[in-house]
Structure 1
Amino acid sequence: MSGAETMASVALRPWPASARDALSKEDLYQQIAQLTTERGHLRGITEKALQDEIDAGKELPEDVMEAVEQEKKEEAPTARDKLEEIHRVRNEMATKLEWATFSAANALDLVAIILSKDPSKNLESAYSHKFKQQGVPPGSFGLDKTDPPERPADRQRLADTAMRQQLVMKGSRMEALDWATDNLLKAATKLETEVRKETKYWEETLSISKKGWSIQRTRKDGRHAPFAVRYGLPEAGNHFKARGLAPLRMDKDGSIILDPALALKPKTLRVRISDNGKITGASNLPTQSDVDESAIEKSIQLARDSLFEEEVFHEMSMETRQLLAYGVELRNSVIQLAAPGPSDRSKHRKILIDCIARDDNIPLGQDGSQDWLAQNIAEFLRLLLTHEHHMRLHRRSQIPPPLTQHKRQQSTPPLLRTLLSISSHLDAIDSLHAYLNVVARTLKSAGLELALEASRETSWVKLTDIIKESHRKDLSAIDQLLQTFTRPFEGTTALSLPSSNGAQSEHITVSTRTYIGQPHFGTEHKLTLPPSLISVLNLSNDQQRQFKMSSTEDVKSYLDWNLSLDISHTVLSKEYPGRTVIKSKDPRVCILSNGSKKGSHKEYAVSIQLENGILKATASNNMHLVTGAIAESFVWNGSPGHPSLREKVKSWVDRYP
């Protein structure tokens, strides 16, 4: 047998202790606990099993077995004593456990049989198995408590105790009555205070509701603020709609106090006019009245106005991002809008818009001549936002469009776009009309009649008829009026030709259209020429009667050219029939002298030039044509007392017969 096989069948066991190392009683209990842990219950440990394990150790090497047997012989009486002690302790433990179990079962049975006198209790499962086998009927065992016979000393003690208890109960009742009385008085006082507070709170709430403000309940746990007032506009933007609700909090005396956020400085819109860097006008700032707790309606009104003013400025600030190409800027919380006027003083005019506190003072030293314009612009912006709110409500009341997967983008209201359109349109129309008036005055001084019919905006001329004939009964007249300002502006100017007479007058029509949006962004002029000018210009296609221009200066220059052509090619040709020769498309005509024959070079060239409201006529004969020198010229600038153009040309032509 190999060493590995021998060690495989080795049984491990504790080394025998000597007589002096005998275990004490406490050590023996520890060994029993360890034995129970290692081998399970003590019931499986017998002398035979232990002997078998000892015999199994005979396969150990001889030297080990001899040492073990030698120690076994020496310590055999001690091991037997330990085994006997183990059996004795086990028997004692088993006896104690059995006695404890028996005592506990008897105690439970006793309690159960006593409680079984109550027929409403079912205690069948509470009895032990052995007690059930005895067949004891329920309720056969009872428990009564009897008092021992009273002694004279005990009787006196009980009487004294009863008297003291009566005194204690009487005092306790008196104290309880005093406590109840005090609490009732406190409750009555508190109830009276609460009733007074609730009465005052509801009176002010009812007063707010009668003023037309919307009142709504708050969440259920809002004890001190059961209601809130909706002072914001219902069609405002999402940000401002959320801010337009203020809880009506109850003060200590029952009066209403608004949210602390409303106590901040109210704001208002301010519009200023800057001409060449100098402030010449500013809108009026409303004065802030003293608001106290009794004037709660004034506080709500002030908060609503401030919120509306902030929304106006916010919408315009968002709109400036789309109007950078038109010179609109936002610097230091001030919107700057270029709005040049017709005069030199207002050539570099700017509109400054900001939102400031209501109690800010206007700095001194301002001109104030354009205060009316600044005030009108401020009121116009407020009206535009109010109109946008009405249109949002109108659109929500209509049949909704078909559902799509794309979210509909809500465009910003056209506040600055409308203001910019009006400014650009009026600037272009007024500049054109002012120039044409100068031209008409100049031509009149030269003996040429020029009729001018102009309208700044065609819809404004017949605005009353448009509203009366409108089929949109769902919109008020104010909304229809304001809606005309959000559409393209169209102005018309009709200019009669100097060559036309009263019976057959021909006109050059200039249609000016302004719109900051698609299809064209800005001002556009469309010119329509009469047939006489078409023949002069030798235009073959009728579609070439209309010309589109984006610059007012180009329109002025083109009108000057056409009027010069009409004067030279038509007016002078009619004045000298059969004697005029047109050699080019320039405003120049050659007038033959009287008595000249065919092939003769005796002719007089007259050039007409109309520029910047000044009419200039230049004449030269055939001799001067060779050298290129100018013979004579005359200028009409609109001042009276000058000879007419016909007289001047006649004097030149008759000088060389």
Structure 2
Amino acid sequence: MSDAASLTTVALRPWPAPTKDALSKEDLSAQIHQLTTERGHLRGITEKALQEEIDAGKSVPEDVMEGAETEPKKDAPAADERLKDIHRVRNEMHTKIEWAYFAAGNALNLVSLLLSRDPAKALDSGYTQMFREMNVPRGSFGIDRTVRIDDTQREEDSAKRRELVTKGSRMEALDWATDSLLQAATELETGIRKETKYWEEVLSISEKGWSLQRTRREARNAPFAVRYGLPEASNHFKARGLAPLRMNKDGGIILDSTLSLKPKTMRIRISENDKIVGTSHLPSQGGLGELAIEQSIQLARDSLFEEELFHEISMESRNLLAYGIELRNSVLHITTPALGGQSSHRKVLIDCASRDDNTLAGSDQSQHRLAQSIAEGLRLLLAHEHRMRLYRRSQVPPPLTQIKRQQPGPPLLRTLLGLFSHLTAADALHSYLNTLAKTLKSAGLDVWLDTSRDASWAKLTHSLEQSPMKDLSAIDQLLTLFTRPFDGTATISLPSTSGPQPENITIATRTFIGQPTFGAEHKISLPSSIIKVLDLEPDQSRQFKFPSTDEAQAYVDWILSLDIAHSVISKEYAGRVYSTDHEPRVSILSKGSMKNLAKEDSVLVLLEKGRLTVTATANTSLMTGTAGESFTWDGTPGKATLKNKVRSWIA
């Protein structure tokens, strides 16, 4: 009982192997690898599963199991016999390996020898060492293929097909070459025709005087460009004055796309009482595509010139706002006096419009010549400014300074305003002086009048001959006069000094839109006889300036009234005349008819608005029996003279 009880508590463990039979790490890894290969992953191997397989006999082949059951167990061979069997098997293996190596080397030698017929494939590295020592000539061994009848026929058919394919391919290549040559010849002919036409037009443009230059990028369809802008234009418009000469599909020249726009022009309109009475215009030329290339370039240059002119005028108007200039909706409104003494609200409207705009063609055009003259004058002034820029650049430059010199803009509007102001002031004064001279002559006073709108215009030939700018053309010297102050003169003689050497009153009218006058100014120079009447000191100035025409007219009236009163009437009644102030009034003493008492008569001379009025008053009565008499001369002929009329009043 004790033995049985002890067996129930015995643990089954593998018997420890001897140290000499213990497995190393390498052997253990090999066995684990073998088990993994035979049975899969080790996770499913358990002691119970292995015991079941042993009991079932799965790990032993069936024929072995059967043999083990039927055949009797033999005795194990001896160690000497097993060793002999191992040596025998090893020798057989070596023999087989040597024969295999020999056969492979012969095959390699054979293939290399066959390939040696081709010089490009003769490689000594393809032979074995033994074959190299035999010194067999290269290319001495060949192989031929035995061709059957069917193969010969097939090859002949293939050769015929290849020949037909070759002929067809050659014919197709010849056709393609022919077509290519014909196409190339056509393209060459077209290119020659286009190039010929292009260079003919380029030559025509050059012969017309236009400046040509190569384009920077050497564009294939536009190798040249034409410089149609003016060389002395402002920087912005100078950059726009270059257009590439592109070649179209027919070989003709087409200008840049920016030039295909409608040509512009500076339009001048005259407005009187808010009604357009005059418009300037240039003749219509049609579109650029309808004109020859030279005319298109000319039209583009004119349009660019007109745009520059309007740009310069717009820039100049910013400094002339005090002169009644306004810019509204891209239109300049310039308030100008009516020329010729007309009383109307006149404006000059300047804008940039299309050259083909004829919307105002049917309106009133009574001032068409004035509008056209203003437009042509502004164009001449801008062209003159371009030439003057070239002239100034060709002169010796001034000394260098650290102060940057400001180049003023061209005086376009200033010249126009100055001319309008000068003509208005000079014409108004001269018209009044003519009326005044006519009135004085109707009163029996001998006067003469000489007027000139501008002194430089009167002596133009002499000015051109004495001009220091000899290298300037006559037209530029003439236009230079318009950019300077305008100086008009008027000379009227005194009524008291008629004769070969009369004394005169000189009125100089100077107009300039700038320093120092900023408009029209009248300067009156008095003769010595008037100086005596006014009792002026010798060192006092004999010239008086007046900023308006009305003031100058009033002063001339007063001076002539003084001369008539203190000179003309005083000479008629010498010794009996005296005056107490500097007024055109004299007192005449005469003997009365009663008791020889002296009588004093006062004579007042008044010139005003072209009318001469003489008024005589007395303390008692005049010869006419009245206390006062008055008579007026307005230039109507056939009236009594001033001397006779005064004599009829005063004894």
TM bucket (normalised to shorter chain) is: 0.7 to 0.9
Aligned to 2:25: 81
SS at match of 2:586: strand
The structure 2 residue matched to 1:199, chosen from 191, 196, 201, is: 196
Aligned to 1:360: 357
Q: Flag the 1:580–1:200 CA change in 2: closer, same or farther, 3 A.
A: same
Give the C-alpha shift of residue 389 in structure 1.
Answer: 0.9
SS at match of 1:322: coil
Is the CA contact 2:271–2:346 (under 8 Å) kept in the aligned structure 1?
A: yes
Pair 1:153 & 2:177 matched: no
Pair 1:324 & 2:321 matched: yes
CA offsets per residue over residues 9-64 of structure 1, 9 Å max, x none? xxxxxxxxxxxxxxxxxxxxxxxxxxxxxxxxxxxxxxxxxxxxxxxxxxxxxxxx
Pair 1:244 & 2:241 matched: yes
Give the C-alpha shift of residue 232 in structure 1.
Answer: 1.2
Aligned to 1:618: 615
Is the CA contact 1:257–1:293 (under 8 Å) kept in the aligned structure 2?
A: no
SS at match of 1:153: coil
Q: Flag the 1:342–1:214 CA change in 2: closer, same or farther, 3 A.
A: closer
Aligned to 1:424: 421
CA offsets per residue over residues 431-489 of structure 1, 9 Å max, x none? 00000111111111111122111111111111122223334221111111111111111
Amino acid at match of 2:555: Y
Structure-2 separation of matches of 1:293 and 1:354: 26
SS at match of 1:577: coil
Is the CA contact 1:255–1:293 (under 8 Å) kept in the aligned structure 2?
A: no
Is the CA contact 2:341–2:424 (under 8 Å) kept in the aligned structure 1?
A: no
Amino acid at match of 2:203: L
Pair 1:647 & 2:641 matched: no
Matches within 5 A, 1:489-528: 489-528=486-525
Give the C-alpha shift of residue 294 in structure 1.
Answer: 6.6
Q: Flag the 1:580–1:223 CA change in 2: closer, same or farther, 3 A.
A: same
Structure-1 separation of matches of 2:22 and 2:521: 129
Is the CA contact 1:601–1:622 (under 8 Å) kept in the aligned structure 2?
A: no
Give the C-alpha shift of residue 174 in structure 1.
Answer: 3.4
The structure 1 residue matched to 2:485, chosen from 479, 484, 488, is: 488
Structure-2 separation of matches of 1:144 and 1:326: 115
Q: Flag the 1:343–1:182 CA change in 2: closer, same or farther, 3 A.
A: closer
Pair 1:280 & 2:280 matched: no
Matches within 5 A, 1:591-602: 591-594=588-591, 602=599
Amino acid at match of 2:334: L
Structure-2 separation of matches of 1:414 and 1:361: 30
CA offsets per residue over residues 223-282 of structure 1, 9 Å max, x none? 111111111111111111111111111111111111122221111222222223332222
Amino acid at match of 2:246: R
Give the C-alpha shift of residue 362 in structure 1.
Answer: 4.2
Amino acid at match of 1:149: I
Pair 1:378 & 2:375 matched: yes
Give the C-alpha shift of residue 341 in structure 1.
Answer: 2.9
SS at match of 1:236: coil
Q: Flag the 1:573–1:189 CA change in 2: closer, same or farther, 3 A.
A: same
Structure-1 separation of matches of 2:447 and 2:632: 18
Q: Flag the 1:218–1:603 CA change in 2: closer, same or farther, 3 A.
A: same
CA offsets per residue over residues 62-95 of structure 1, 9 Å max, x none? xxxxxxxxxxxxxxx9997389859x99xxxxxx
Give the C-alpha shift of residue 499 in structure 1.
Answer: 0.9
Amino acid at match of 1:241: K
Give the C-alpha shift of residue 212 in structure 1.
Answer: 1.4
Give the C-alpha shift of residue 145 in structure 1.
Answer: 8.8
Structure-2 separation of matches of 1:643 and 1:143: 159
Give the C-alpha shift of residue 618 in structure 1.
Answer: 1.4
Amino acid at match of 1:318: M
Say which one has the larger Rg: 2
Is the CA contact 1:256–1:293 (under 8 Å) kept in the aligned structure 2?
A: no
The structure 2 residue matched to 1:478, chosen from 471, 475, 479, is: 475
Amino acid at match of 2:310: F
Pair 1:398 & 2:398 matched: no
Unpaired runs of 5+ residues, structure 1, are 1-76, 90-140
SS at match of 1:422: helix
SS at match of 1:559: helix
Give the C-alpha shift of residue 170 in structure 1.
Answer: 4.6
Give the C-alpha shift of residue 393 in structure 1.
Answer: 1.2
Pair 1:440 & 2:384 matched: no
Structure-2 separation of matches of 1:145 and 1:221: 64
Is the CA contact 2:262–2:287 (under 8 Å) kept in the aligned structure 1?
A: no
Structure-2 separation of matches of 1:376 and 1:386: 15
Amino acid at match of 2:529: S
Is the CA contact 1:271–1:353 (under 8 Å) kept in the aligned structure 2?
A: yes
Is the CA contact 2:505–2:525 (under 8 Å) kept in the aligned structure 1?
A: yes
Aligned to 1:259: 256
Give the C-alpha shift of residue 167 in structure 1.
Answer: 5.5
Structure-2 separation of matches of 1:369 and 1:631: 52
Aligned to 1:100: none
Aligned to 1:230: 227
Structure-2 separation of matches of 1:295 and 1:208: 10
Structure-2 separation of matches of 1:530 and 1:349: 39
The structure 2 residue matched to 1:570, chosen from 552, 567, 570, is: 567
Is the CA contact 1:276–1:346 (under 8 Å) kept in the aligned structure 2?
A: no
Amino acid at match of 2:600: E
SS at match of 2:574: coil
SS at match of 1:384: helix
Q: Flag the 1:145–1:249 CA change in 2: closer, same or farther, 3 A.
A: farther
Aligned to 1:17: none
Amino acid at match of 1:152: T
Is the CA contact 1:335–1:354 (under 8 Å) kept in the aligned structure 2?
A: yes
Is the CA contact 1:444–1:450 (under 8 Å) kept in the aligned structure 2?
A: yes
Aligned to 1:183: 180
CA offsets per residue over residues 135-190 of structure 1, 9 Å max, x none? xxxxxx99989986122139958888777666555544333333222211111111
Q: Flag the 1:314–1:590 CA change in 2: closer, same or farther, 3 A.
A: same
Aligned to 1:65: none
Structure-2 separation of matches of 1:143 and 1:611: 147
Structure-2 separation of matches of 1:356 and 1:365: 17
Pair 1:298 & 2:295 matched: yes
Is the CA contact 2:228–2:301 (under 8 Å) kept in the aligned structure 1?
A: yes
SS at match of 1:354: strand
Structure-2 separation of matches of 1:259 and 1:520: 48
Aligned to 1:315: 312
Structure-1 separation of matches of 2:428 and 2:157: 120
Structure-2 separation of matches of 1:542 and 1:238: 55
Q: Flag the 1:404–1:524 CA change in 2: closer, same or farther, 3 A.
A: same
Q: Flag the 1:203–1:365 CA change in 2: closer, same or farther, 3 A.
A: closer
Amino acid at match of 1:488: P
SS at match of 2:246: strand
> How many residues end up aligned between the 2 structures?
523
Is the CA contact 1:316–1:416 (under 8 Å) kept in the aligned structure 2?
A: yes
Q: Flag the 1:187–1:364 CA change in 2: closer, same or farther, 3 A.
A: closer
Aligned to 2:14: none
Is the CA contact 1:342–1:431 (under 8 Å) kept in the aligned structure 2?
A: no
Amino acid at match of 1:335: L
Amino acid at match of 1:212: G
Aligned to 2:53: none
> What TM-score do you get using the length of structure 2 for normalisation?
0.74
Q: Flag the 1:635–1:437 CA change in 2: closer, same or farther, 3 A.
A: same
Give the C-alpha shift of residue 336 in structure 1.
Answer: 2.1
- Of residues 365-374 and 604-613 in structure 1, the stretch that sits farther from structure 2 once superposed is 365-374
Structure-1 separation of matches of 2:577 and 2:503: 22
Give the C-alpha shift of residue 632 in structure 1.
Answer: 2.0
Unpaired runs of 5+ residues, structure 2, are 1-20, 34-134
Aligned to 2:532: 535
SS at match of 1:152: coil
> What TM-score do you get using the length of structure 1 for normalisation?
0.74
Is the CA contact 1:425–1:523 (under 8 Å) kept in the aligned structure 2?
A: yes
